[in-house]
């Protein structure tokens, strides 16, 4: 499974919003700056995530974005599905490919197992898990003078 930049940037934006939950709405420019994401592309991603109900937007001078779901209840699998649609490691697993080896192929068993394990990890990893992990990483890289 290859994770697209769309998913990478989307997850980064959600982590940023999770880290700022409970405060004022976060502006796109602030997220883009902190996460090194091009702002015009981030606008598109935030609009897509607003449509699926992950975030809410507020207009006005103190506007921006806030999470619409609890970070602990949002799995990374749901984020990937919302941004990319259904994903499989290889086309033969979802039946979209006509393969004369299908059903009696050792490789297919391997790909199915790998797909199952990957999805299990993504389903069991929440936005809260990543936000906490990011906080730990941020604390490890702080330098004090």
- Tell me the DSSP string of 126-144: BHHHHHHHHHHHHHHT---
Question: For 28-60, what is each residue's pLDDT tens digit?
Answer: 999 999 999 999 999 999 999 999 999 999 888
Q: What is the pLDDT of residue 95?
A: 65
Q: What is the pLDDT of residues 79-109, one digit of tens each?
A: 999 999 888 777 777 665 666 666 677 888 8
Q: State how far the Cα of 76 lies from the Cα of 45, in Å rounded to an integer.
A: 15
Nearest partner of 39 among 47, 31, 48, judged by Cα: 31
Q: How does residue 27 score in pLDDT terms, banded at 50, 70 and 90?
A: very high
Q: Which fold has domain 5-140?
A: Arc Repressor Mutant, subunit A (1.10.10)
In the structure encoding, which two tokens stand for residue 90, read together? Answer: 């290889």
């Amino acid at each position: 499974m290859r994770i697209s930049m769309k998913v990478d940037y989307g997850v980064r934006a959600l982590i940023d919003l999770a880290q700022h939950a409970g405060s004022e709405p976060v502006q796109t420019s602030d997220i883009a700056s902190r996460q090194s994401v091009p702002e015009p592309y981030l606008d598109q991603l935030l609009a897509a995530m607003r449509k699926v109900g992950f975030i809410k937007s507020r207009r006005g001078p103190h506007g921006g974005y806030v999470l619409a779901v609890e970070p602990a209840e949002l799995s990374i699998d749901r984020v990937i599905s919302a941004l990319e649609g259904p994903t499989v490691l290889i086309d033969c697993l979802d039946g979209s490919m006509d393969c004369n080896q299908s059903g009696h192929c050792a490789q297919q068993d391997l790909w199915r197992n790998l797909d199952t394990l990957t999805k299990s990890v993504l389903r069991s990893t929440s936005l809260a898990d990543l936000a906490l992990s990011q906080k730990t990483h941020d604390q490890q890289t702080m330098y004090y003078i």
